[in-house]
Amino acid sequence: MALLELQRVVKHYRRGAEDVVALDGVDLRVDEAEAVALVGPSGSGKSTLLHLAGGLDVPDAGAVHVDGTDLAGLSVAERARLRRRDIGFVFQFFHLIPSLTVAENVELPLLLDRRRQRSAAVDAVLERVGIAHRAAHRPAELSGGEMQRAAIARALVSQPRLVLADEPTGNLDSATGRAVLDLLSSLVDDAGTTLVMVTHDEAAAARTGRVVRLLDGRRVDVPASVARPAGETA
C-alpha cells in the first residue's frame, strides 16, 4: 500500500523575473516500509519534492497524498499537525536549537503537540540512537555525528510512519556517515518506517531499496549499469 504518492506534480518558483520549473509532472509512489533514494544534480528538484512530500509546500498542479490524504486539501494548521505526528524530517545542517539541550531539542515536537509523559519517549529514542549519555549537552558540545543522531532522534520521537531525510550524511565524514546510514536503515528493517532520502552520494543511495533519479525537474530512467556506483559489479 502506498504511504506517499505524488501524481503529475508541478512546482514553479520565481527567481527575479525568471520562472523556474522545479518539478515538471513528477510521479512517485512509495510503499509502506520502503526505503527510496532521490538522486540528481543540484537544481534537479530533489529537495522541492521532499518539501512537497512533507507538506512544507503545496504543488502548483498535481497532487501529493500521504496515507491517502491529499495535502493540498488540508489547512496550514492541519498540515503542521500531520508533520508533528506522522512525518519526521532529518536535515543536512541538523537545525538543532543551540540554546536547548539535546533532550530538549528532541522533546520539542512532543511539546508542540501537547503530548504528556514526554520524558519516557525522549529517553527511549536517545537510547535507540546511541546518545543517551549526551542528553544534557547542548549542540555546540557535540560532534557532527552526534548532532545528526540528535536530529534523527527528534525526527523519530513521535514515532512517525514516514521519515524524509535531506542529505543526512552531507556534513559528515565517511565513517560517521556510514553509521548514520546504518541507523536510518534500521528504521526500515526493524520498525517498518518508510524512508525517502535525498542524496548526492551513490554509495548512500545504494543502501536503499530503490533509487529514483531526477534531472531538470523530471524523473529520468537510467540503466542499472549506469546507476551502479563506480567499481561495483553486478
Listed in sequence order, the residues at least 6 apart from 217 whose beta carbon sits closer than 8 Å to its beta carbon are 11, 21, 22, 23, 24, 26, 44, 45, 48
Q: What is the largest CA-CA distance in the chain?
A: 51
Instruction: For residues 22 and 19, give the distance between their C-alpha atoms in angstroms, rounded to a whole number.
Output: 9
Give the tens place of pLDDT for each residue, 94-121: 899 999 999 999 999 999 888 888 999 9
For the cut 60, the answer to whether the pLDDT of residue 72 exceeds it is: yes
Average pLDDT of the segment spanning 139-149 = 94
Q: What is the residue type of 233? A: T
Instruction: For residues 131 and 224, give the distance between their C-alpha atoms in angstroms, rounded to a whole number.
Output: 38
Residue range of the domain that includes 145: 2-220
Instruction: Determine, yes or no, domain membership for 50.
Output: yes
Instruction: Determine, yes or no, domain membership for 22.
Output: yes
Give the tens place of pLDDT for each residue, 8-56: 999 998 888 888 899 999 999 999 999 999 999 989 999 999 999 999 9
Instruction: Determine, yes or no, domain membership for 227.
Output: no
Segments of the chain assigned E as strands = 2-15, 18-31, 35-39, 61-66, 69-70, 87-91, 162-166, 194-198, 210-215, 218-220
Average pLDDT of the segment spanning 210-229 = 74
Q: What CATH number should be reported for the domain holding residue 125?
A: 3.40.50.300
Instruction: Determine, yes or no, domain membership for 180.
Output: yes
Average pLDDT of the segment spanning 186-203 = 90
By C-alpha distance, which of 116, 111, 112 is closest to 80?
A: 112
Q: Tell me the three cell numbers of residue 166.
A: 535531506
pLDDT bucket at 228, cuts 50 / 70 / 90 = very low
Instruction: Determine, yes or no, domain membership for 76.
Output: yes
Q: What is the pLDDT of residue 68?
A: 93
Instruction: Determine, yes or no, domain membership for 231.
Output: no
For the cut 60, the answer to whether the pLDDT of residue 174 exceeds it is: yes
Angle at 41 between CA 31 and CA 9, to 5 degrees: 45
pTM of the shown model: 0.89
Average pLDDT of the segment spanning 175-186 = 90
Alpha-carbon distances, residue 94 vs 152, 198, 222 (angstroms):
9, 14, 31
Q: What is the pLDDT of residue 18?
A: 84
Instruction: Determine, yes or no, domain membership for 229.
Output: no
Number of compact structural domains in the chain: 1
Instruction: Determine, yes or no, domain membership for 161.
Output: yes
